[in-house]
Structures are given as structure tokens and as C-alpha cells.
Amino acid sequence: MALKDKMMSYITEEEISEMIKNLAREIEMDYAGEEILLVCPLKGSAFFVADLMREIKLNQQVDFVYVTNKSSETGERGGDIKFLKDISSDISKKNVLIVEEIIDTGRTLSFLKNRLLASGPKSLKIVCLLDKPARRVISIKPDYVGRTIEDRYVVGYGMDEDELGRNYREIYHLKN
């Protein structure tokens, strides 16, 4: 039985595509005539950053980070956050956008944001496909939001259940 057989469709491929187009237009308006650097936290945001990059009609670069949160691995709250892979680009004096597929507690994103701010970017903003503010434990607000969702567990389009389901073109949630 496939993981999605235990789940139901929540956001369709078409809805995801429309959210990305809208986010791209907002970013293009805010950065008209400027270059941007997209920072993609691995693994979940890879699909989102690829689609967003193709949609944004600005000069752009991309870099990747891999940040782990021990609490997600062990189930405990407030675990250690550390870099497995840091960015390789010099982001000083650049317009940087962190591209997240979903913002949940905000702990890892806050850690990443503070690390990037220490490198002196011209600007630093957060783009997220899905924002789940009900789960926030650290006050962090994205600058660009595809959709705000209630507190539900979602899988697909980069989001996983024990590394499964990232490849689904739609976003699913557990059947009640």
C-alpha cells in the first residue's frame, strides 16, 4: 500500500502551480531590475525552488544548505540544530531569498536566517509555499506566502513521512 493510499488530496498540482506563479510575480515586482540569490534548505524545498526559479523572470543564482534539527530525528522538542552543508556563495550585498516548502515551528528557519544575516546580505526575505503558524514556537514571519494552512500533517511536493512521499506532485493529508 502506497503512503498516499492512507491520505487524501489536500492541494492539487494545479493549485501548487498557481501559488508559485503568484509568488514569482510578487518577487519580480519587489526586485525589478535586480539580481536575487535563492537559498534552498535541503531536502524538502528542492521541488519548490526548482519550480519557482523557472517561473521568476529575473537574473538569479541558487545555493543549497542542509540543516538538521535533532528534535525532528529523535522526537524531542528543542534539540540541537546544526549545518551538514552550509552555503558556498558569498551573499554579502546580495538580495537573498530563503525558499522553504513549509514553515512549521520556525526553529530551524530562525537558525538559518540568523546565520545568513551574519554574512551581510543587502536584503534577506523568506518565501514559503505553505505557512503553518499554529505550530510556531519561534516568532518568524515569512515575506511571501503561497498559502496559510491549519495545523495538519502534510506530505508530498517535497514534504515527507520518514523520507517517503516527497515525489508526489500533489500535497496530501492524513485521512481522519
Backbone dihedral angles phi then psi of residue 140, each to the nearest 5 degrees? -145, 135
Q: Identify the helix (H) or strand (E) that includes residue 173.
A: strand 171-174
What residues contact 138, with CB distance under 8 A and at least 6 apart? 105, 106, 107, 110
Q: Cell numbers of 14, please?
A: 494545479
| Cα–Cα distance, 36 to 139 (Å, whole number) | 25
Q: Is 128 helix (H, G, I), strand (E, B) or coil?
A: strand
Question: What is the per-residue DSSP string for 30-63?
Answer: HTTT--EEEEEEETTTHHHHHHHHHH--S-EEEE
Q: Hey, which residues are catalytic here?
A: 104
Q: Identify the helix (H) or strand (E) that includes residue 155.
A: strand 154-155
Query: Which single residue is written with the C-alpha cell 522553504?
Result: 100
